[in-house]
Each structure stands twice: as structure tokens, then as C-alpha cells.
């Protein structure tokens, strides 16, 4: 019996540790050949090997289990290095079939305290990084589709966040970048559908090195046989599924995943609509229409969906 991703090749960015590592291992377990990307430095993988990088360590872990993998140390937020990443996948495995964009960083601060550098750095790594790899992967798939005279196989799994869905007061840069990724995902889904490519985004909740401060208040399981609800192990299977042929009908979707639960988010709906009685709204007319509408809304309610933070298994 063949594996779901057998014969397919994948890129996972930010895969040297945490969530990306779990995703790379899962794709390999399902049969994919994997390019493990991480902007790591030698000696930072915790193995004691001064020459090792996190990406190389994960690639070796995949090879030791019988899979195919190669490491890439480039910065996906750099346009040329993102190009080299996609080219490496094609050179090593003949083609690229799956792109999992996971790489990211945090620079948390309130909006009134945030520096320009803290804003630019987070938006660069998350949003530009997603665009860069998506751009070069889409060029590859479009060219293959034209050569084949029809659709080819392509899967993009992007990483958004509940910080975008619910709003996160101390993460304006992160929430904005993650919201931008959703926009990039839905646009990409429409643009690449005719080539056979799907693009979806996930909002994972996972305890990793990057989020250890964010989830510091979440209790870890006390029993040794219990899986941490915030373990990346809860997220990786969904990435594997979205990367598979079975998920062909899922396109342009946003899913929340953690702790044994997956939730498909509904698209925004129109809450109310007002028409002017004349040709153009006046201030007074808007005050009457919108003022009355917002007066009847719960205080503190925003476009953010704070209730998503209460989702859990069961």
C-alpha cells in the first residue's frame, strides 16, 4: 500500500525546530521527500556538534528513518535565497509539489511601544517570507502546467495565527503579518486553482521555542502518558492532510488546529447594510444609522473573533 505523499517533494520553512520540525517529519512519514529549511547557525541544534545546524539535524533524522531529505539554511525573507530554496527542491527531487510556509519570529510589544525595527522585522519574516517562497513555487507550477497542457499537483499550506483572528493587544506586528498571510492565501488560491494548485492557511496553537513566553501560563500535562495539548504533534497531521491528494477540494480555507481539534473558520459575513436616502450620505444620516447600530452592539466587541480562543476538543 502506497503512502499518501509517496513520489511527492516538499519544502517546509522554519523546520529546524518546533512546529516546522514536526511538520517536516510528518510529511516524510507520509512518503514525501523534504527540503528542511531553517535560518540556523552551526552549533545551535543542541546536539553538541559544532558543525550541525537545526535544518541539517532534522534532515538527518528523516534520512535515518528511511526518508529522503536535504537541508537549506537560507533566509526565506530574502528574495534570492527563497529562489534558491525552490531551485534546490527541484534540483534534488526533480520537481516541487508541496510548500509549507512556517518560518517566523516574534517581537512582542504594545503598539505605542513598538519600534520601527520590531515592526519591519516581523512583517518581513512572516509576510514577505510567505510571499517569496509562494512566488517562486507558483512560477514553477505555472511553467509545469503550461508544459503539461493542463493542471499539475501543487499544495501550499501557510501559517496564520489566532492573533489575527482574535486580535492580540501585545502583538500588532505579528497580528498584522498573520492577517496579511490570510489575504495572500485566498488570493493565491484563486490565482493558482487553474494550474491544479491549492492554498490553505492554518492557525496553530503550539508550545515551541518561539511561543514559550506566550503560552507560559498554559499548564503542561501531569501524567507521563498524556500528550501536551499544545504539542506540535497535534498540528502536523493536518498539514500532512492538506498537502495530500485527499484535500483537493480544500482551497482558500482557514483552519484552527490544536489539542486534538480542528475548526474550519467561516468567511466574514455582512452584519448590517445601510443605504442613504439621498445621493450621498450626510454626517447626520450616518450618525443616525451607524450610531444606532453600534449602540445596540456589546461594548468592546470588535471585528476580532475572541471566541476562537475558547475552542477546545470535546
Tell me the catalytic residues. Answer: 161, 174, 178
Give the list of residues 6+ apart from residue 166 with CB closer than 8 angstroms, or none: 304, 305, 306, 307, 308, 309
Helix intervals (H) in the chain: 18-29, 54-64, 79-93, 116-123, 129-148, 162-166, 172-192, 236-242, 283-295
C-alpha span between 15 and 59 (Å, rounded)? 9
> Which grid coordinates are listed for 124?
518581513
C-alpha span between 297 and 313 (Å, rounded)? 29
Q: State how beta strands 154-159 and 69-72 pair.
A: unpaired
3-state SS, 266-309, equals CCCCCCCCCCCCCCCCCHHHHHHHHHHHHHCCCCCCCCCCHHHH
Name the β-bridge partners of 264. Answer: 255
Amino acid at each position: 500500500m502506497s503512502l499518501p505523499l509517496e513520489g511527492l517533494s516538499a519544502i517546509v520553512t522554519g523546520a529546524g525546530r518546533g512546529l516546522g520540525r514536526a511538520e517536516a517529519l510528518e510529511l516524510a512519514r507520509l512518503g514525501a521527500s523534504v527540503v528542511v529549511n531553517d535560518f540556523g547557525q552551526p552549533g545551535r541544534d543542541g546536539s553538541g556538534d559544532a558543525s550541525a545546524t537545526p535544518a541539517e539535524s532534522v534532515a538527518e533524522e528523516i534520512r535515518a528513518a528511511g526518508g529522503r531529505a536535504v537541508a537549506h539554511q537560507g533566509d526565506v525573507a530574502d528574495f534570492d535565497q527563497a529562489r534558491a530554496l525552490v531551485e534546490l527542491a527541484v534540483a534534488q527531487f526533480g520537481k516541487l509539489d508541496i510548500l509549507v510556509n512556517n518560518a517566523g519570529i516574534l517581537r512582542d510589544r504594545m503598539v505605542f511601544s513598538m519600534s520601527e525595527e520590531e515592526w519591519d522585522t516581523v512583517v518581513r519574516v512572516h509576510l514577505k517570507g510567505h510571499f517569496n517562497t509562494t512566488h517562486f513555487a507558483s512560477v514553477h507550477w505555472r511553467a509545469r502546467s503550461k508544459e503539461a497542457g493542463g493542471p499539475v499537483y501543487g499544495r501550499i499550506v501557510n501559517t496564520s495565527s489566532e492573533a489575527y483572528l482574535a486580535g492580540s493587544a501585545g502583538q500588532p506586528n505579528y497580528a498584522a503579518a498573520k492577517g496579511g498571510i490570510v489575504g495572500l492565501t485566498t488570493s493565491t488560491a484563486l490565482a493558482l486553482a487553474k494550474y491544479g494548485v491549492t492554498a490553505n492557511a492554518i492557525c496553530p496553537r503550539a508550545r515551541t521555542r518561539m511561543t514559550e513566553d506566550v503560552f507560559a501560563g498554559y499548564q503542561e500535562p501531569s501524567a507521563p502518558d498524556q500528550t501536551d495539548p499544545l504539542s506540535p504533534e497535534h498540528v502536523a497531521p493536518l498539514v500532512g492532510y492538506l498537502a495530500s491528494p485527499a484535500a483537493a477540494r480544500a482551497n482558500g480555507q482557514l483552519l484552527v488546529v490544536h489539542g486534538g481539534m480542528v475548526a474550519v473558520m467561516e468567511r466574514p459575513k455582512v452584519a448590517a447594510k445601510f443605504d442613504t436616502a439621498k445621493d450621498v450620505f450626510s454626517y447626520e444620516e450616518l450618525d443616525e444609522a451607524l450610531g444606532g447600530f453600534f449602540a445596540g452592539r456589546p461594548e468592546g466587541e470588535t471585528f476580532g473573533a475572541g471566541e476562537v480562543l475558547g475552542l477546545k476538543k470535546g
